[in-house]
Each structure stands twice: as structure tokens, then as C-alpha cells.
Structure 1
């Protein structure tokens, strides 16, 4: 039975909804509502679920830790799970030296920005105050994160309150400027970055998502694009700050995406899948050079002024440790590299739908761009929100979908089986076809 919600729901036009379906239970990739209807969780509960719901090992881990220590401050104290997890994160993250915990991805990126700006002040280079970033990138919804990840559709109402950044285009294979090949377009993007680096000596850091822009429309970087930016950062003494909150830990088919991209950063942020999608936790990792710049006498005020009440929560840290151990025990990354090929089987059928303009896919992530005119690449723009249309049509077909603008996002739990993924993609195709009449 549906209940009128007193909750203000995220990124939702509340006037469109009279009520919200209540999820009563979940197991594996399936969500079950209060009426007994089942839906495949096609967005991994906002891109964070790894093993599916109600995994007994992760539940047991929560139960065991909650009996010993539920929470203890990390202000002047520490706890075993937080220490053990930090060691594990350093072991799997090449070039990193220390871990700073927070509660969510936006906070992890706020911390990364503060670290990168304060680093230069700590070493006496106070002129380096500018942040460079990619257009259409997304790094969270807090003010610092909105500044470096400015998506106009989301944040234009706050533009005057945001700090300025230097933005560069990211090559989008579907929308190449007239007269250019994609290779030319990529080189043009890199050249713009290099020219600005040569001209400006006040750039503190270059901030970008690692491997792909996710919330910006599933824009997959071409091979070596990120690596070329990394080289430019090193050449021009600019810190490289990478956001792996949505793209790390297997989403794009590799455990640590920056390792695959051959672009070791100075600072990197992890979140979402860190705890398998069971508890909220994020981490910002810094290399030794950055960390050491914060060391000194107390009255030099070099230390990082940042902290959260639940920083390093032992229950969240415990489940993160178990989650990462399960990656190794179950050889999850190799499994993903096999399962991801299932997506390719459906390219032709999906692209044959006349409102589909483009398909972008890597690892366990797919974005399907919907257009009203394939030749002009005009995005669909119905009066009713596309998200609501796809939620309702998806529900009829037994899948939970959420769109980003005119992009249908397929972001399943990482451990989804091949049979489950086949079923999901067939239902996605059916849903797109059913939604067509409401979109154009």
C-alpha cells in the first residue's frame, strides 16, 4: 500500500508525485515493494551496490562490529577498523600515502579541493589559487563540489555563489565539432589545457572524474586522454585530483581506474562502492608530498581544518574491509570484465530504436542518449520529467530506472549474473519502446 510521503525527496519535482512506492525488502538484484511487486535494481541504489542486497557476509559483518564498537570519534582517538581499512586502501591505490575519511562523495571532494589549495599555501606558494576542471564534470552537490563540477542544468541557480574555475571541454564522441575528426577534437582539448598551463602559473590543481564523466552523461574518455592530462600536470607543477567515487572499485572494469589510465594522481577520492553499498562512507587519499606539507609546529597552522562527526565510523570501516576482501576472494574484477560483454550483445537492438541517438558503455555502466531527431541529435524534452516517465514504465516491466536528463542510465550491482543482466537489458529495451510515445 502506498503512503503519502513527508520526506522531501532528492532531485525530485515533488509536485509530480502524489506518493512514493515503499521498498519493504531486497535480495540480490531485486527490490520488493509493499505490494509484493519486484523490480531489478538497474541503478544499484544510486550506483553504489556491489554484491546485491541482503548479502549474508556483509550483514554478519555489521552485526559483529555493532556488538563491539558502534562509533568512536577520530578526534585524538582511532579505532581498529579505520586503521585496517586505511592500510588496505593504501595497498590497492598506487602512489597514495594517507587516508582522510568522510561520510559521502561530495564531502570527499570538498576535502580534496581544500587539500589541494592548502598544499600550496603550506609550501609558500600562495599565488596558486585557481582550480582547473573539465566542463560537464560532476563532483557532488555541496558548494565546493558544485564549483569544480558545474553542470548548468543542476546548479545554475547557485552560480553567483560558486567560486570561479577554469573549465576545459572533454571530448564527446557523439558531439564532435564540425570539420574535426574525433582524434583532432581530442587533441584540440588537450592543446587548450596545455596553452592555459603555459600561460597561467596560478593553477593549483586539475580536478576530473577518473575514466569517464558519469552524471554528466556517461562520457567515456578516449584512450590516453587522462594520461595526457596527468603528464601536463606533472610538467607544469599542477596537482592532479581524481574523482573515483562513481568510477572506481570495478564500475568501469578495473579496481583502481587511475591505475588502468596510467595517471597516478596527487589526491584521489573514493566513495559509493567502498562499503558495497550498505553504509555511508567515503575516503580522500593523498600522496606523501601533499601529506608532508601539512606537517609542522602547531602554531604554524598547517594542519587540515576539516572533520566530520562520523569520520572513520568503525561499522562502516568494518564492512568496507569485508567488501574489499570479497573482491579478492570472488575475483570480482575478472568477473566484471566477462559480464560487461553482455552489454555489447544489445548494442544493435538498442540503437535500432528510432529515439536512441547514442549508446555509451564501459564496464558495468551504460548510458543511452534519447533524441527526438537522430540527424540533428536533438535531445528529447517532454513536459513531464523523463525520470518519472521511465520510473513508471520501468516499474511496469519490473525494473527500477532513473534517468539523468535525456540519458537512460544502466548501472547495475557489480556482481549481477549474466542471466540477470540479459533479463535487465531486455526489459530496458521494452521500457524505451513503451516510453517513446510520451517523449516526442
Structure 2
């Protein structure tokens, strides 16, 4: 990369440590500097427009430049820019938001605890689950089961819940009492001749065996995304959630639905829990809660969880948990306005309609030579690239081909994300049918160029 001295790119290389980035590679290549956004598009320093096919990080649901959110933030900044929720104090927007979230929750919930990110919220959940079982006099019931390829954040606890090797390597994770059960990806892990329902039965059996092996009296909770996001956009196989929930009920294991990606329309309905008929005891929300205009997340808990926590706080004298910025009035005001816009514009229904077009468009690539599986629901999807369609063999090294493809897609003006050779799509909910068509056309050009490269490399290897 070449850049002028003191340019944004040069200063970024000099001073900024990036998440999810090869630091040495970044020193050589530098960043794409985004300076403006409007609707589903973002713009770089040279004025080049890109369709933001990932809504930032699965999250900018209303796109860029939504004036109502700017106005909501500005108004609240003038009235009360900050207040906390410690020691019996609160601001009006945080109360209003808690009330609204309880109102729209897909199952009956009792209370809302705010945080600033999905990672923080899931970290809080680990503490809540442990505190809850201590309150009930069950000090051994502390283990939390996540899933291989699940994603729940990057703090010490939430990073432990995450089931991806790169999130554990050399961070000394996972911590104790965090376990990982089988990944419910039928295409990748189904046995020969095993249909989705039989595969789901086996996944539930794997979970039950883990609970029994560990001892039901030691297993406190199971956490999962309705659709797995960063693990590759993995849609659960038919009957999976019904069978898993039956196991959890049998052994008195709390169900935590991580709705950080799926919540607020991403699956074409209000929550992923609605799409897949999930009945959680705890729900975790973030990202689209404020369309990512300001940091905010929320944990919703069922009444049985709240009552135990409340009794224990009375016993101890306080509930010793919280964040300086939790329930920040500006973030809460923006989140409230975001929820109003979803309702007024019927954006969840819109996401379902346009999502059907996206899914149909993605599936047109299924016959391409290096496409192994196309999957998704609503406005979230992925195309998995493979070296051999018949055997499902992966590329070596995994991720290199997908990285090339998303680089070519960016050159054609669409930003996507490579997840180990699965190319993810998660555009803003406001995307139109014409924009979906445009996005897929740009992706098609990048896929053709990737196929050409693979053909050239195959020819060279036979010379």
C-alpha cells in the first residue's frame, strides 16, 4: 500500500491496533478508510461508493444517515447527556427502553439489564447464571454449554463461550465451567444418508450426553444463537430447536438466546426466537437495538431468574454488578427511536419480503463449480466455497480463496465478509429489491474472477 505521510491510512498503521486483523499484514496493506455513509452505501476517501453488504458488523439495520436517530441523540445530549443506573438512580430513556423491550419480547420476560456491547451482555449473563444458582443454593450448578462455531463475544467469559479457535488461541481460553457441544451444521457434519431431522436428533443426543457426563446438577445453562453468525451463518436443521429445548427442560438447564445478530428483523421476523419457536429464559440483545448508531446492549431475564437474583441481593445487601455507561440516556433514546422506526416502517415485514429475494438470488449460485452450500434465512445468508463439490473438501489453507473473493467484491463496490471460505451477506434491513439485485450482480463478477483464478492455478499445477 502507498499512502501520503500523515494521511488517515498512514496514521492508522502507526497508532491503531485492529481487531480481527493480521497486524503484520495490516502494516503492509493498510486500511480501507470510510468517511461517509448514506442509506445502504458507504464511501471511502476517494469518493468510491460501496454497498455495505454486511451492515457494518451485521448491525446497521437502518443504514447510514438516518436523521431521526441523529435528532434523537442530539435532543437527549442537550437534555441529559449522561446518567447512571447505580444506587436507585435512573434516567427516563433507560426506563422507557426497558419497558418497550419487555413489551415486544417474544416470550414473557421480567427485567432488563443494560450494557454496552454484545460481549459485555454475554459476560454479564455468565455472572447472572452463577449468581442465580448460588442464590438457589446450588453452588455446583455452574457449567454453561455453548456450541462449536458459536459466537458470543470476546471478553474473558464471553470469549470462552465463543466456539472459534482463533478466539481462544494464546488468550488462555476457555475458562473453567464453559463447555462446547456439537455444531449443528448439517452440510458439514451430517453423516452419509442422514437427513436434517435425524441429524437434529443426534445433535440433541450429543447435548444430552454432555449434560449426563458432566452431571445434570453441575450444568446451569445452554447458550446459542438462533442462527449462528460469525461461525459461518449456520441455519439450524429442521426440528433442532424443539429437540434441544426438550433436553434442557428435562435437566433444568436455562436457555439463553443470543439474539445479538438475529434480533430486530434479521431473520425476517422480530426475533430469531420467533422464527425458530425458541422459548428462552434469558435473551441477549445488541447491534440492531440502536442500529449501531450508539453502543448499547441488553439482557432480558425471566421472572424466575429475577426473583432469585433479587432475593440474593437483599441477602448480600446489593447486586454487585453494573457498568458506568449501562442505560446511557443518549444510547437509550437512540434505541427507542430505532424501535419506533422499525414499527412505523414495518421493516421486519420488509426484511422478510426482500430477504426472500436475497435467498432466491443466492441460491442461483448453487451450481457454480466451487460453491458447496448456499444457506440463510431472511436478510442473512452465506455461500460456502469448497475445493471439491462432490467430497465437500475445503481449500488449503482454509480462508484464502474466500479472502480473495471478498477483495474482488470490494473492488466491484460491495463489502462482504469471509468466514473461513463462507461468504456472508447481511445488508441493512432498508435495502431495496433493486439494491439486492445490484449487490448480487457485483458479487457475481467477483465470483467469476475467483473461478478464473482457480482455473489458472489448476492449469499451472498440471504443467
Q: Tell me whether the two structures share a fold, i.e. TM-score over 0.5.
A: yes
Q: 1:132 to 1:68 in 2, by over 3 A?
A: same
SS at match of 1:109: helix
Name structure 2 gaps, 5 residues minimum.
458-463
Kindly state the Cα deviation for residue 160 of structure 1 after the two structures are TM-superposed. 5.3
User: Could you say which residue in structure 2 is the equivalent of 1:405?
Assistant: 420
Question: Deviation digits for residues 188-227 of structure 1, max 9, x if unmatched?
Answer: 1112223444562224433333321111111101233223
Question: Deviation digits for residues 81-120 of structure 1, max 9, x if unmatched?
Answer: 0000000000011221100000100111111111112111
User: Could you say which residue in structure 2 is the equivalent of 1:138?
Assistant: 151
Work out whether 1:13 is the aligned partner of 2:27. Answer: no
Q: Distance in 1 between matches of 2:252 and 2:313?
A: 28
Q: 1:188 aligns with which of 202, 224, 233?
A: 202
Q: 1:301 to 1:386 in 2, by over 3 A?
A: farther
Work out whether 1:369 is the aligned partner of 2:380. Answer: no
Question: Deviation digits for residues 306-355 of structure 1, max 9, x if unmatched?
Answer: 21111101111001001101111111111111111112332453123211
Greater shift, 152-161 or 103-112, is seen at 152-161
Q: Distance in 1 between matches of 2:273 and 2:363?
A: 30
The count of corresponding residues between Structure 1 and Structure 2 is 440
User: Could you say which residue in structure 2 is the equivalent of 1:42?
Assistant: 53
Are the counterparts in 2 of residues 359 and 368 from structure 1 also a CA contact under 8 Å? yes
TM-score, normalised by the number of residues in structure 1: 0.94
User: Could you say which residue in structure 1 is the equivalent of 2:186?
Assistant: 173
User: Could you say which residue in structure 2 is the equivalent of 1:301?
Assistant: 316
Listed as ranges, the matches of 1:225-374 within 5 Å are: 225-296=240-311, 300-301=315-316, 303-374=318-389
User: Could you say which residue in structure 2 is the equivalent of 1:72?
Assistant: 83
User: Could you say which residue in structure 1 is the equivalent of 2:460?
Assistant: none
Kindly state the Cα deviation for residue 414 of structure 1 after the two structures are TM-superposed. 1.0
Q: Distance in 2 between matches of 1:47 and 1:300?
A: 41
SS at match of 2:170: helix
User: Could you say which residue in structure 2 is the equivalent of 1:63?
Assistant: 74
SS at match of 1:295: helix
Q: 2:97 aligns with which of 85, 88, 92?
A: 85
Listed as ranges, the matches of 1:143-162 within 5 Å are: 143-159=156-172, 162=175
Are the counterparts in 1 of residues 406 and 446 from structure 2 also a CA contact under 8 Å? no
Question: Deviation digits for residues 415-437 of structure 1, max 9, x if unmatched?
Answer: 11111111101111211222345
SS at match of 1:145: helix
Are the counterparts in 2 of residues 387 and 405 from structure 1 also a CA contact under 8 Å? yes
Q: Distance in 2 between matches of 1:428 and 1:351?
A: 14
Work out whether 1:107 is the aligned partner of 2:120. Answer: yes
Greater shift, 268-277 or 202-211, is seen at 202-211
Are the counterparts in 2 of residues 104 and 281 from structure 1 also a CA contact under 8 Å? yes
